[in-house]
Structure formats: structure tokens, C-alpha cells
Structure 1
Amino acid sequence: MLLVFTTMKTTPEFYADPLGLPRRWDFSHYRELFDGQTMWRYFGNSAVVTLSTVALELLLAGMIAYGILRSGRKLGGFMFALFAAGLMVPSQVNMIPIYSLLRKLGWTNSLTGLVLVSAAVLLPLSVFMLSGFMRTLPKEMLEAGAIDGAGEATLLVRIVFPLCAPYLASTAAFLFVIVWNDLLFPMLLVGGKDKLTLPLALLQFRGEFVTDYPMLLTGVVVSTVPMIVLFVFLQRYFISGALAGSLKG
């Protein structure tokens, strides 16, 4: 609530009494945020990057996790360990090679490049999560489908993905929060003002000597709304997916 109350204050009022209640309920910051700061464009950029990254991530990680599941104990275990090892490498370590590669490809200051980098960086985490979820699936259903003549692609699309819907939803919600709030790679790869994502655009309210905290926190409040809406709609899937391992493992 303190965050919301701060958005109702003027900048001098905030510095005079940071923890106090606003003198009047003033929603002008919310109107100014979208009228004068072209926040709709930044909001749209974040939506495009986040939704594209999550969709690509679920597709790639789902196929890889299924491959690990069907590759047998030795090969599947090796592949799983390989992706699990990727979790131990901080993304900051790869900043220079990633920037150099995208610069050679001409994908700097591009939302497409940002989507591909975000998906690649999060792939070990997604594979790790979905592999654990897929281990809880009844193998008898896959064996029955294979006996009926279904190929691997059919098993994946018609059996595995539908059965994994709660797990995919919980993974999607987790990835959505990470990508939506990401500041590191947008700051590294995006330079043009028309390509800024929402977290990067909020830095515009930070001045060299004075920071407009009421306006900055207004942007923070607005940026949290999609995550709240997402969690409300996916709450049932998120909880069931998060508890799947403990209930069946």
C-alpha cells in the first residue's frame, strides 16, 4: 500500500514525508505516464518480448524435455546433466560473447535478438523444470500410444503436452515474471528509444541529482499489473504444477 500511496504524491511532497499519507488522492501520475512518456510503446515492447520468449521457450524446452524422457537412462541422464550444468553459469559471464555475436549478426537494438537471447539463456532452467514434471507422467500411456502406431511427434502433441498443461502453465508463469522484469539484457542489447522495454524505460525517471520517485513507482505499479492478472488466471495450474514433484516424487 505504501507503494500505491507514494504514486499519489508530488515529488516535493514525497521528499518532505516519504512514509506519510498523500494530502489528496491524485491520479495525475498515471495519466501523465501514458500521455507524455510514450509508455504504451514500451508496454507493447515488453509484451511482445515476453510473450514471444515464453512461447518459444515452452516449445523448445518441451521438445528437449520429451527427448530426455524418451532417450533412456544413460543418454537421457547425460542430456539432463548437461542442461542442469547450464544453471551454474551466471548469465553475466556471457554478456560480452552474446553482444559480440549479435553485433556480427546485426541483431543488436532488435526485439528479435532480445527474444532469442532471452530464450537461450533461460533454456537450461526451462528444460530442468519440464524434465522434472514429465517424469511424473504415466509411462503406460506413452507405451500404449506407441503400440497403437503413434510416432514421437504424435505422442508429444496429443498426449504429453495435454497431460503437461498444468506444468506448462506453471513454467510459463515463472518465465513470464523473469522476462517481464529483466533489465540486464534489454540494457545490453537495446539502444533505440523506440525499442525500450518497460523496466528499461522506467530508468528515465532517475536523474543525476534528483529522482522522480512518485513517477518511477507509478511505472512500477503499472508494470506489476500484468503479473497479478497472470497469476490470478493461472493460479490453479501454478500451484498444481509446483506441487507435482512433491506429490508424485
Structure 2
Amino acid sequence: MKTGRRALLGFYSLIVIVPLLVVVGGSFKTTQQLFDSPFGLPTHPTLDNYDTVLRQQNLLRVLGNSITVVAVSVPVTLILASLTAYAAARLPGWWGRVVFGIFAAGLAVPAQAMMIPQYVQFDRLGLRNSLTGLMLINVVVTLPVAVFILTGFMRTLPQELYEAAELDGAGAWTTFRKIAVPLSFPSLAATSIFLVVMHWNDLLYPLLFIDDPAKRTLPLALLDFQGEYLTDYPLLFTGVVVASVPMVLAYAFLQRHFVAGITAGSVKG
């Protein structure tokens, strides 16, 4: 069994590592070098692809758009989701189940089924083709996921803490701010990582809502490297590497909180 597990993990590692090496190595190759040796290390590494992507393709500006969208969408989603999750966990009787059920129902509706009404509504409100509209639609789409995760965690918090806070004269807002939020920090950190990845990698809504090249996000800008008859793979790989660096750094710094968040509540103290 141990040998089988190791073999399975080794096979899975190859599935992950080989494409990663091809992408990273391909970003330092020319097109001819990539097609001559797609799996080999670059024999004559070049930074021309990075110069083209960052300067000529103006990817730094696109990178700023993505950072702006994520930096606004994630905190707003976490604030709204934490308030909703606290209400769903604390409301007595069936009220809490109703609140949770409304947001949980949002998970059952495919995003594609809502796109035409959303497009028409945002166009009428003047929010289409703007980063503000993109931030708003990101919050709307990912809010049910965040509420679902946070509600499950807040329901595991000991009720004695809330009762003690009420005996000390703390109101609902004080209890939420000084007890529920600090204790839910591991779950909030894990949820924030999920939201960052979802918002950062989102292509569907920017493709639908954004027409102005100056307001594109990274996934949308990467489509420029793929033509109808020819794809510049070295430039595409370089763009993928640049787009992945912020995610890798974010996970490296938040890994401890992510692991704590996904295991929080699994063991009772």
C-alpha cells in the first residue's frame, strides 16, 4: 500500500511538474527553440519575451487592473459574507436556515444562466466596460461561495462565548467584531485565498463586460497572444508566468493560514 501510494503521488507530481517546466522554460526560448525541444532546458536563454510582454504589450498596466479588481472585490466580499454568515449562524429558529438557504441557492444556479440578464442590467446602469462594474459582478458571483464557507465555520463556534458576551452587555455588533471575527480568522484567510484565485483567474466576465483595451485584466490580455492561425507560445508562456507570480507569492505568505483555515473545526477541543 505504501509503495502504491508513493507511485501514485510520483505520477501525479509528473503531471503537475512537466507542464510547469515546459511553461517556465518556454518563456526563455524563441519559437524555434520551443518547437525543436519543448521539454528541454533552454540552451540559449533569452529575456526578449519578458521585455516584449512587459513593455511592448503593456502587461504592467493590465497587471495593475487585475490587482485593483482583486484588492477591492475580495475585502468587500469578505465583509458582506462574514456579516451574512454571522446572521445565519446566530439567528434563532428557522430564520438562520432561511438566510443561509437563500445564499446556498445561488450555488445551484450556473453563472452562464445569469449572464444575459446581468449584461443587460449592467449596461442600463452604465457599469459595463468599467472596472467598477467588474468588481461588483465579482462580489455578486462569489458571495454565495464565501457565505457557504464562513457559515459552516461560525456554526462551530461555542455558543457559551456569545452568551458570556451578552451577560457582559455586548451587543450584536460588538460580539461580531470582537469575538466572531477574531475566532474566524483562519476561515477568513482560507476564504480570501479562494476568492483571490477566483477573481484573478476569471476570464468569462471580463470577456463579457470589458471592451476597452485599457481596462482589460490579465486573463483577457493573454488572449492577444493567441491568433486564429498562429499562436506565439513563448509570449503566451511568458504572460502565464507573469500572471502566476502574484498567486504564488500570495500562497507562499498565506500558506499557514490556508492550512489552518481548511482544517479549522475538524477537531473539537
Give yes or no for TM over 0.5.
yes
- 1:1-249 equivalent positions in 2, closer than 5 A: 1-248=21-268
C-alpha separation between the residues in 2 aligned to 1:73 and 1:46? 42
State the superposition RMSD in angstroms.
1.3
Moved more, 114-123 or 24-33: 24-33
C-alpha separation between the residues in 1 aligned to 2:154 and 2:103? 15
TM superposition shift of 1:15: 2.9
**Contact kept in structure 2, 1:102 and 1:108, CA below 8 Å:** yes
**Contact kept in structure 2, 1:61 and 1:123, CA below 8 Å:** yes
Structure 1, gaps ≥5 residues long: none
C-alpha separation between the residues in 1 aligned to 2:258 and 2:42? 36
TM superposition shift of 1:12: 2.6
C-alpha separation between the residues in 2 aligned to 1:13 and 1:229? 29
Distance 1:73 1:233, change over 3 A: farther
TM superposition shift of 1:37: 1.0
Q: Deviations over 1:103-144 (max 9, x none)?
A: 000011110101111100111111000001111212211111
C-alpha separation between the residues in 2 aligned to 1:168 and 1:200? 28
Identity of aligned residues (%): 47
**Contact kept in structure 2, 1:108 and 1:189, CA below 8 Å:** yes
C-alpha separation between the residues in 1 aligned to 2:36 and 2:119? 43
C-alpha separation between the residues in 2 aligned to 1:136 and 1:234? 23
C-alpha separation between the residues in 1 aligned to 2:173 and 2:84? 12
C-alpha separation between the residues in 1 aligned to 2:266 and 2:160? 21
Structure 2, gaps ≥5 residues long: 1-20
C-alpha separation between the residues in 2 aligned to 1:76 and 1:53? 26
Query: Number of residue pairs matched?
Result: 249
Per the normalisation by structure 2, the TM-score is: 0.89
**Contact kept in structure 2, 1:136 and 1:248, CA below 8 Å:** no
